[in-house]
């Protein structure tokens, strides 16, 4: 198939953001090429195939809203969809809207360089092709680049080493195997119960205990789907204007203002809801007052003690070094109960750090545990890793890595000063990972697409944030973040999981609805904070 060497737009990434962006570009009549490093579409849900991989946002919310027909025709099978079902959904969308013809798989973008004279981006792929485009849109995902490992001796291990972020597509059978799992974040919490059900012996190496609540997942009934589909438009509108892109009643009371009996009743209700935001929404002060947060955290710790029979193991599993919700909390199916099995063992790395990986196992201060397989559930270089792995150069040849040397700076999470005609979908400085990603993706894609239509109509050559507007937004993002408890945790929200990464609170905590209003106001005020340069002739 012949593809244009000079399309209007290059899109990097064919996950949910890239797919919808391509669909919108088609509607604008703009030519586009989409480059995807994977051998298939789906982004996160193409790569993350580890046992138990599942979304922690309900399927009827974690789905596109741009097409009422799509909403009505697709049938979900579970409350919380597993990876294979989400990938099938993405593939259905690509087929239904004929998106594949503009997507090039197995094609990693290595560089994007702005050319001042032509006012175009030169985008180079790993295959040596260079494409020039008026606009470059990065749909690279917030959790797509696995973090580098600091574990000595990993290469010396004689057996298989698996990463939850790059799981073999054929799957892995752990039946009768001795397995080490390193990491107890989201992918560890989801995969450990499933792997344990097969393994002969499992040793879990935990650096930081996490808060997790029962998902209460189950089949999605036909009646539940009919009820939602009958009122989808109103539901979606409510989600778009909610704090996290998730519909739910907002709290009006503070935990500190009610009796202990009332708090326990509210906490039990949240615990039983099987909902990621239920506990945080139980009281208004949980995210901003450490005393209220401690009450919720103590309740969760008590529930963990209820589930784990061995007191020493239970105590090791209790999160104690960060307030509840300041690291991504998890939903699980049988995670804590897994540690009641006699063949499952927990190693607390705060007490006995890993000294080395040997040819036969994992060595700590307490000695070596021999294993057949190692599973790395060690997380991502979040939010900036995928972008900084590409050699992106803006005006005067300045690299994005240089511009972000002290942490990411953006205007609205949509663009970067000094990088004209470049857009980042759910970039740092936007709600992104603190929200339902599908809601935030659609909002960004729609904003970018409306912007491109305006530029085309008015013959504008370039658009980029001005430095003052960007500095003001970065200051606002930091100020709002500081008003919460989030900075008290050494989380990937701040880059704390990656040695040497600047400690900056990267997402915007001001709320999806409030952020949407800000973005809409910026556009309505002739793209306030952006510098627009008109062409001397038509852009067409």
Q: State yes or no: pLDDT of 115 exceeds 70.
A: yes
Q: Given this model, what pLDDT does residue 4 score?
A: 76
Measured in degrees and rounded to the nearest 5, phi and psi for residue 19 equal -65, -50
**Which residues have a Cβ under 8 Å from the Cβ of 188 and sit 6 or more positions away?**
164, 181, 204, 377
Provide the pLDDT for residue 538: 41
Distance from C-alpha of 459 to C-alpha of 453, rounded to nearest angstrom: 10
- Rounded to an integer, the average pLDDT of 66-83 is 97
Indicate whether 539 pLDDT > 80.
no
Q: How confident is the model at residue 149 (pLDDT cuts 50, 70, 90)?
A: confident
Q: Is the predicted pLDDT of residue 245 greater than 90, yes or no?
A: yes
Confidence of residue 2 (pLDDT cuts 50, 70, 90): low
Q: Which of 125, 183, 148, 144 is nearest to 47 (CA)?
A: 144
150 pLDDT higher than 90: no
- pLDDT of 540 > 90? The answer is no
User: Chain centroid to CA 326: how far?
Assistant: 15
Q: Centre a 10 Å sphere on the Cβ of residue 373 and count the other Cβ atoms it contains.
A: 19
State residue 212's pLDDT score.
97
Mean pLDDT of the chain: 96
Partners of 135 in the beta sheet?
Answer: 9
What pLDDT does 18 receive? Answer: 98
**Confidence band of 5 (pLDDT split at 50, 70, 90):** confident
Contacts of 177 (CB under 8 A, 6+ apart): 198, 199, 200, 372, 373
Going by their DSSP bridges, the two strands 161-163 and 460-465 should be labelled as unpaired
pTM for this entry: 0.96
Q: What is the mean pLDDT of residues 67-93?
A: 97
Q: How far is CA 438 from CA 55, 245, 246, 297, 434, in A?
A: 12, 8, 10, 29, 12
pLDDT, one tens digit per residue, over 116-139 is 999 999 999 999 999 999 999 999
C-alpha 339/C-alpha 351 separation (Å) is 18
Q: What is the pLDDT of residue 176?
A: 97
Q: How confident is the model at residue 148 (pLDDT cuts 50, 70, 90)?
A: confident
pLDDT for the residue numbered 1 = 59
The whole-number average pLDDT for the span 466-485 is 97
């Amino acid at each position: 198939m012949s593809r244009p060497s000079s399309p209007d737009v290059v899109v990097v990434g064919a996950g949910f953001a890239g797919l919808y962006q391509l669909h919108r570009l088609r509607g604008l009549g703009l030519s586009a090429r989409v480059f995807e490093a994977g051998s298939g579409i789906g982004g996160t849900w193409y790569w993350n195939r580890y046992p138990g991989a599942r979304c922690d946002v309900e399927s009827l919310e974690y789905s596109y809203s741009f097409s009422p027909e799509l909403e009505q025709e697709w049938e979900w099978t579970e409350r919380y969809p597993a990876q294979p079902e989400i990938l099938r959904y993405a593939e259905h969308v690509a087929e239904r809207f004929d998106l594949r013809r503009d997507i090039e798989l197995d094609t990693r973008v290595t560089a994007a360089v702005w050319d001042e004279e032509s006012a175009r981006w030169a985008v180079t792929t790993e295959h040596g092709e260079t494409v020039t485009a008026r606009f470059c849109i990065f749909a690279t995902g917030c959790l797509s680049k696995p973090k580098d490992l600091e574990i000595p001796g990993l290469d010396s291990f004689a057996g298989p080493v698996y990463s939850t972020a790059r799981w073999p597509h054929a799957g892995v059978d752990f039946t009768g195997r001795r397995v080490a799992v390193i990491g107890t974040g989201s992918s560890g919490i989801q995969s450990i119960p499933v792997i344990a059900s097969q393994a002969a012996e499992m040793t879990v190496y935990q650096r930081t205990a996490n808060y997790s609540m029962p998902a209460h997942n189950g089949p999605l009934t036909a009646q539940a789907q009919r009820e939602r589909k009958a009122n989808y438009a109103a539901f979606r509108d409510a989600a778009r204007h909610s704090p996290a892109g998730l519909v739910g009643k907002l709290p009006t009371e503070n935990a500190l203002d009610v009796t202990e009996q009332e708090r326990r009743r509210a906490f039990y209700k949240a615990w039983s809801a099987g909902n990621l935001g239920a506990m945080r929404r139980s009281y208004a002060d949980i995210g901003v007052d450490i005393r209220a947060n401690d009450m919720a955290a103590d309740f969760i710790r008590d529930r963990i003690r209820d589930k784990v029979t061995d007191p020493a193991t239970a105590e090791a599993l209790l999160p104690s070094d960060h307030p509840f919700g300041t690291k991504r909390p998890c939903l699980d199916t049988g995670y804590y109960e897994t540690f009641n099995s006699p063949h499952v063992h927990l190693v607390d790395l705060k007490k006995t750090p890993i000294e080395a990986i040997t040819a036969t196992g994992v060595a700590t201060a307490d000695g070596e545990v021999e294993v057949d397989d190692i599973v790395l559930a060690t997380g991502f270089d979040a939010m900036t890793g995928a972008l900084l792995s590409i050699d992106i150069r803006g005006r005067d040849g300045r690299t994005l890595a240089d511009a972000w040397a002290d942490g990411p700076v953006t205007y609205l999470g949509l663009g970067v000063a000094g990088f004209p005609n470049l857009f980042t979908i759910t970039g740092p400085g936007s709600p992104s990972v603190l929200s339902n990603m599908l809601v935030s993706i659609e909002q960004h894609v729609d904003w970018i697409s409306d912007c491109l239509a305006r530029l085309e109509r008015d013959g504008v050559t370039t658009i980029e944030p001005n430095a003052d507007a960007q500095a003001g937004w970065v200051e606002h993002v930091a100020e709002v973040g500081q008003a919460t408890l989030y900075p008290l945790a050494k989380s990937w929200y701040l880059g704390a999981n990656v040695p040497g990464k600047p400690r900056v609170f990267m997402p915007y905590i001001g709320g999806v609805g409030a952020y949407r209003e800000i973005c809409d106001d910026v556009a309505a005020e002739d793209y306030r904070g952006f510098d627009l340069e008109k062409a001397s002739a038509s852009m067409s």
